[in-house]
């Protein structure tokens, strides 16, 4: 029997149903799950359309996870926790095809979902439950009977049941960002962001790469207020590896706001610069380009496989000033007691700023995790500052939206390091401009 895209999506979604929130060693990465499916023997006969359909199904369900759960819970005669994970996953998959799947007729969504249950060998009771629940949602949808909580009356519940923002996170956003900006960010989560490329100015120019892409039928543009080396593509859904210029190192796939981080550090040619949390190398190679391949650029990464990937990217992009240190960032020091002109600490974080492209984060992150990240982030920032010469500057950055990982970390370090001053900080929310990012630039006034 042929292994279909729907069956693959069901298997992946079932894994998320069985997940344990807060157990970091069990964290599932949707991209990795899809890659395992695509490289398996079961999908060997798939066409590109099958891969796109499987990707659309899995990402589509994860982007509507909480709204679907609210509707199904309200209709189910059983507590949701008592419904078996395979059945829960199949119901979500059927609901996506019924309510949000483009060009999938309702009868096809219903019939195919029930047939999937039969082919998998679910019990007659489970098959009847799936069929009954989906038909109940269809009737409810036709009658307009599903009315979620209003944003004004119950903002956190509204954010969860309409926009897929967990209630604990919605409450934090409302506290730190206010109602207007919180709702604007939440609405962004319904759709994936466009693909953004950072032009590698060591090899080409934004104008020349744009011409090359446009000649291949790829629509792209440098958008207003974007970093000048960023091109945003529209209507492109293939693999960036297949784009012209990739093999020649003409670009690196990088979010537009992520590209602001290296510019915020503002390295100069000839300087000694350290990227303390370097893999996979997007910001490292950007720093090299801003330095015009002149000076010394240290990339620190403790995982050998990630370091190998970074070096591969650096080679493809023509970076020649790279020095690598495969070790824990907290133990790294420059040779012979040297000091750096600039240090980048792009710290490991919750990734809350990237949930538009990584909706799987929302299913597994807990509020408790934020403080655990902050402990490591403070240590990394303090160590990064210790590598600077007097007058040197460091940038602390996260792809997070939460003050616990951002402003609170900056202020705690300032309190502990009286010889350091904060020059500037910025918080970019999730927007049409890109992912959410925090950046703070510090200066070391004197070496202690």
So which residues are the catalytic ones?
399
Cβ(439)–Cβ(425) below 8 Å: yes
CA distances from 294 to 174, 270, 272, 273, 339 (A): 45, 5, 9, 11, 17
Q: Report the side by side order of strands in the sheet with 388-398.
A: 322-325, 296-300, 272-275, 340-346, 388-398, 437-444, 420-428
Of 22, 69, 54, residue with least CA distance to 361: 22
> Could you give the CA distance from residue 403 to residue 175 in angstroms, rounded to a whole number?
10
In angstroms, the first-to-last Cα distance of the chain is 69
Q: At what angle do helices 167-188 and 367-386 cross, to 10 degrees?
A: 70
> Could you give the CA distance from residue 401 to residue 224 in angstroms, rounded to a whole number?
23
DSSP 39: T
- CB under 8 Å to 28, separation ≥6 — which residues? 15, 16, 19, 360, 364
Cβ(312)–Cβ(380) below 8 Å: no
CA distances from 286 to 199, 336, 341 (A): 9, 27, 17
Q: At what angle do helices 282-290 and 304-316 cross, to 10 degrees?
A: 40
> Could you give the CA distance from residue 289 to residue 204 in angstroms, rounded to a whole number?
11
> Could you give the CA distance from residue 365 to residue 361 in angstroms, rounded to a whole number?
6
Token pair 């080409």 in the structure block, residue:
204
Token pair 């990734």 in the structure block, residue:
351
């Amino acid at each position: 029997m042929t292994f279909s895209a729907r069956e693959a999506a069901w298997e992946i979604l079932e894994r998320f149903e069985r997940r344990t929130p807060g157990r970091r060693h069990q964290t599932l990465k949707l991209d990795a799950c899809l890659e395992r499916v695509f490289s398996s023997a079961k999908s060997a006969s798939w066409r590109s359309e099958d891969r796109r359909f499987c990707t659309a199904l899995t990402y589509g369900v994860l982007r509507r996870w909480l709204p679907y759960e609210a509707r199904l819970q309200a209709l189910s005669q059983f507590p949701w926790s008592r419904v078996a994970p395979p059945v829960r996953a199949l119901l979500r998959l059927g609901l996506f095809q019924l309510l949000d799947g483009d060009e999938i007729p309702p009868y096809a969504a219903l019939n195919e979902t029930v047939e999937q249950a039969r082919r998998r060998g679910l019990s007659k009771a489970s098959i009847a439950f799936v069929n009954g629940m989906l038909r109940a949602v269809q009737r409810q949808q036709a009658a307009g009977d599903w009315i979620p909580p209003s944003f004004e009356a119950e903002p956190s519940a509204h954010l969860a049941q309409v926009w897929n923002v967990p209630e604990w996170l919605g409450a934090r956003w409302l506290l730190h960002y206010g109602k207007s900006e919180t709702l604007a960010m939440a609405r962004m989560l319904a759709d994936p962001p466009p693909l953004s490329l950072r032009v590698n100015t060591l090899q080409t120019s934004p104008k020349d790469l744009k011409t090359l892409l446009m000649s291949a039928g790829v629509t792209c543009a440098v958008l207003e207020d974007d970093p000048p080396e960023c091109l945003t593509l529209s209507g492109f859904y293939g693999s960036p590896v297949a784009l012209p210029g990739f093999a020649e190192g003409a670009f690196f796939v990088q979010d537009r706001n992520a590209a602001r981080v290296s510019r915020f550090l503002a390295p100069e040619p000839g300087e000694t610069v350290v990227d303390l949390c370097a893999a996979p190398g997007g910001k490292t190679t950007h720093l090299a380009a801003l330095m015009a391949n002149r000076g010394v650029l240290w990339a620190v990464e403790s995982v050998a496989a990630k370091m190998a990937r970074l070096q591969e990217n650096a080679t493809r992009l023509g970076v020649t000033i790279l020095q690598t240190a495969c070790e824990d960032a907290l133990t790294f020091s420059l040779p012979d007691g040297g000091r750096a002109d600039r240090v980048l600490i792009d710290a490991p974080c919750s990734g809350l700023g990237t949930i538009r492209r990584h909706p799987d984060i929302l299913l597994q992150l807990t509020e408790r995790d934020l403080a655990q990240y902050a402990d490591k982030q403070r240590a990394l920032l303090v160590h990064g500052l210790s590598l600077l010469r007097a007058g040197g500057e460091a940038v602390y950055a996260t792809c997070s939206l939460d003050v616990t990982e951002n402003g609170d970390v900056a202020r705690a370090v300032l309190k502990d390091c009286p010889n350091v001053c904060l020059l500037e900080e910025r918080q970019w929310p999730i927007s049409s401009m890109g992912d959410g990012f925090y950046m703070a630039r510090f200066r070391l006034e004197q070496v202690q």
